[in-house]
Every structure is written in C-alpha cells, then in structure tokens.
Amino acid sequence: MSTPTTRIPRYELHCHLDGSVRPDTVADLAREQGIAVRRPVRELVVAPAHCGSLTTFLTYIDLPLQVLQTPDALTRAARELIEDWKADGVVYGEVRFAPQLHGRHGMTPDGAVQAVAEGLAQGRATTGVSTGLLLCCLRHQSPDESLAVAETALRHRNVVAGLDLAGDETLYTAQPHRAAFDLAHNAGLPCTVHAGEAAGPESMWEAIDILGARRIGHGVRCTADTALLNRLRTDRIALEMCPTSNVQTGAVRSLTDHPATPLLADGLPVTISTDTRTTSDTTLQREFDSLRHNIDWTSRHEALAQENAAQASFSSTSEQ
C-alpha cells in the first residue's frame, strides 16, 4: 500500500464496504466458510482497468459479498477498512453498504448494521480515525425494500450517518424510492444518491429534485448541463468522484478526460474518493497520484477537494 506523501488531512466520503475487503481476507473467509474458490482470489475481486460497463464492474464484488454473510466477517472487514484508511492518511471516512444483502444465512439487517458498527468502533479505537456509516437502498429493489432500509437506518441513528441509493440508473429510476428518502429527510437523516455515473444529467436532476440528495455519488456526466452545474454550485451539492472507478465502469473514457479538475476550477464542490478500494485496486494516495500524472492536478487541487469533503461530510450524525 502506498504511503501518504502529504500532511493534508484526508476525508473519504464514497467507499463501499463489499468492494473494499482485502483480497487476503476474502481468501481467509472463503476457507473458513468452506466456499470453493477455483481461481486466484485477486483475479476474482480486482476488476480490470476497463470493464466497459457498471454491470461488469459489479461482478467483481460477487465473491466478497458471498463471504460477508456472517457478523464476524462484517466486523472484520469494517475494522480492516479503518486500518487501511489510517495507512492512507484518512482522518475521517464514510463507509456504505446494503444491509439487506447480507441475509443469506439468516442475518437480519439490524444484525448486519450492528456487526459493521462494531468493526468501525474497533477500528476507531486502534487508529483514531473518525467514521460515518451509510446504508444503501438499491434501485433494482422494490420501494418497500428501500423503505425497510430507511427504517433500519432510523432504528440505528446512533451509528448511521446517512442514506444512499445505489444501482444502475440506466435501468432503474429513483422516483420509486421517494418514500424511503422522505422518511429519512423527515427524521433529519442526510442523503446521497448515485447519479450521473451510468446515466446522464437527468438522473442527477432526479436525485436532487425527487430524492433531495445533499451529495451526488460520482456525478461525472454533469458537464454539458449548464443549469445543473449552476444548481450544484449554488446549493453546494457535493460530487463524490472516484476517478479510477469512473474509468473502469466507462463513466469517463480515460483519466485525461476526467472532469474533476475543470469542475473544481469552476467552483463545483468536487470531492475525491476510491469507491471500491479492492475492486479498483486503489487508495486515495493512488487516486491523487493518478490525477497528478494524467491531468493538471496539483496539491492545491487536493487541498480544495479535501476541504470540500470535510464540509460535505455527514459527520454531525457520525460516530467520532
């Protein structure tokens, strides 16, 4: 793992737990659980530089999700993520996951949240890194399932910092999940929504106007919509950009085409995260190194992105 070369405090706002499990941990958990793995684990959990689509990219999370079906596995993965954040110079990190996907062996969503929260607490105790936990509704699931996720989040307000909507925008709209987000808003729980990744500006407008998103996950397809850019700038709706992942999924063609730098220069609240530390084989250090190598990115850009992330964090309801 790269060693940070800067003293700028780092904030990571967009990091999926199931995409950030160490490959060695996936292998250990598979052995412990008797799950047959017929190829080297790294080949199964690290996606290629160009997957061509979000759908292909997500297949590399299948095995990690398979082994994260017990409380002990979730606790271990969460604790190790905090350790990895510490090594990466992160002082505050938000991790997100979909608790409804961890019930294959009978674990309840409440049990899954408690297991992850325990891992975060263990990690905080040993590293001093502050954390926030976000729960993900999923676009392909029913409105009732999303409402159940929001209700789970509210039952665990002492450890849950926010609500998210993830999934393929080209196949599923956000509108059906409005009730879940209305519930969160009424309880004062902040929300972020994946949008402008697989689909265009229309998905970002929907995230903002229908679901009331305070932040947008990725949002790289906003550049051609002047009205949208003005809205994002005026309302300070942060963009959680993940450069390596954005290239892997085809959201942008290459790092040289990534809009992070021009959007920062245009006053947009851009932030930089890893998305999936294992699937994308990356760290924040590597993200910044790649941006510096491929586009006109400097330490000044990094400092501004970190300032934006600190201001956009859901830390007021996070475990510190």
Cite the active site residues: 197
Tell me 4's DSSP state. Answer: P
What would the two tokens of residue 5 be?
A: 């070369």
Angle 170-13-203 from CA coordinates, rounded to 5°: 20
Burial 18-57 (b: 16+ CB within 10 A, else e): bbbbbbebbbebbeeeeeeeeeebeebbbbeeebeebeeb
Question: Distance between CA atoms of 291 and 242, rounded to whole angstroms?
Answer: 11
Under 8 Å between Cβ of 192 and 217:
yes
> 């021009």: which residue's tokens?
262
Sequence-distant (≥ 6) Cβ neighbours of residue 37 within 8 angstroms: 27, 30, 44, 63
Question: Distance between CA atoms of 128 and 56, rounded to whole angstroms?
Answer: 36
Burial class (CB in 10 A: 0-12, 13-18, 19+), 210: middle
